[in-house]
Amino acid sequence: MFAGEIRVPINSDQDIVLARQKGRSLASEAGFSPVDCTLVATAISELARNIVSYARKGEIALQLVRDSRRSGILITASDEGPGIADLRLALRDGFSTSGSLGLGLPGVRRLVDEFQISSSSGHGTVVKVTKWRLDHREK
C-alpha cells in the first residue's frame, strides 16, 4: 500500500485533469469512500489550477501516509512561481488576484482535514494538505 510518492508535473490545463485522476485512483485504492475520493480529486484540481494560473509550472505529489491511528493521503502542491505576498489575505474567502472567484485556497481548506501553506514573495509556494480516511478520522 505504500508504493511511495506519485509525482505529477503540472505544466498545462491537461495536467490538472491527469493529477486529479491519479489522486482519485490512489484514494480509491486506499479505501476512501466515493465522496472522499471526489473531495480529494477536487482539492487536487484547485491546487493544480493555482499552479497553472499563478506559477505556470510546478508539481503535485501524492503520497499515502499513516500515523499511529489512521491512514490518509498527503497532497503536496509546489511551484517556484511568484509566491504569495500576504498569506492571511489569500486564505480569506473572496480574495483573488487573478480575477477568478477567489475561492481557491479557503475552499480547498474546507475539503481536507489538514492544510499547511508556506510561501513568500518571489520564492514560490508549497501547499500540503492531508485527507484522512473517514473511518480513522478524528470525530
Partner 1 sequence: MEVPILKQGEFLIATIQAALSDADLEHLRLALVQRVVRFRARAVIVDVTAMDVMDSFASRTLREIALMIRLRGAETVIVGIQPEVAFAMVQLGLTLEGVGTALDLEEGLVYLNQKFKALN
**Residues at the contact surface with partner 1, assessed by CB under 8 A:** 13-14, 16-17, 20-21, 24, 34-35, 37-39, 41-42, 45-46, 49, 93, 100-101, 103-104, 106-108, 110-111
Q: Closer CB to partner 1, residue 53 or residue 71?
A: 53
Among candidate residues 56, 81, 61, 74, the one with its CA nearest the CA of residue 19 = 61
Q: How far is the CB of 118 from partner 1 (least distance, A)?
A: 23
Among candidate residues 106, 105, 110, 38, the one with its CA nearest the CA of residue 77 = 105
- Three cell numbers at 44? 487536487
Strand order from edge to edge, sheet including 6-10: 6-10, 58-66, 71-79, 125-132, 114-119
Q: Closer CB to partner 1, residue 4 or residue 72?
A: 72
Q: Closer CB to partner 1, residue 31 or residue 106?
A: 106
